[in-house]
Amino acid sequence: MEEHIKVSKRRFLWDVFMCSLGSYGGPEAHYGVFSSILVQKRKYLTEEELTEMIGLYALVPGPSSSQTITAIGYYVGGPLLAFLTFLVWAFPAIIIMALVGVFFTQISNNKTWEPILTYLPAAAVAFIIYAALTLGKKILCY
């Protein structure tokens, strides 16, 4: 991997936070978000380097997206930035899932929300399809 210019840790962690907010749908969706924000927009690493990391962490046990984003943090700024990257990456998901749990507990007996909740699985499938198409275009046109 080639040497990169020094980056602002605060800026990098903000970009990781933006990735964490926009990457629901599994590793396929995460790849698109990482590529868009961390490679194309900010140029923290190249597309080839990102692809290598994703390939490596897809082979080892554990959450590949968390491992990949943590490795990018390590690559950009060392062990401390890697640790902070993991915390920033995980925090929004922890908060959102806790709020979703409370929300569903509170509305489980309220039939007013039922029509809206019916479409949630379709929205999740749409995110995954979009991510798969984006990834497919990158692989086929690469």
> Is residue 2 included in any domain, yes or no?
no
Residue 16 in this model has a pLDDT that exceeds 60: yes
Residue 119 resides in a domain: yes
Q: What is the DSSP string of 50-96?
A: HHHHHHHHHHSSS-HHHHHHHHHHHHHH-HHHHHHHHHHHHHHHHHH
Phi-psi region of 3 (alpha: psi -120 to 50; beta: other; left: phi over 0): beta
**Taking 90 as the threshold, does the pLDDT of residue 46 lie above it?**
yes
Asked whether residue 1 is assigned to any structural domain, the reply reads no
| 109 part of a folded domain | yes
Q: Which domain holds residue 103?
A: 9-141
Per the prediction, the chain carries an average pLDDT of: 86
Counted domains in the chain: 1
Say what the pLDDT of residue 44 is: 95
pLDDT at 12: 97
Residue 4 lies in a domain: no
H or E segment to which residue 23 belongs: none
pLDDT tens, residue by residue, 60-87: 888 899 999 999 999 999 999 999 999 9
At residue 4, the pLDDT reads 53
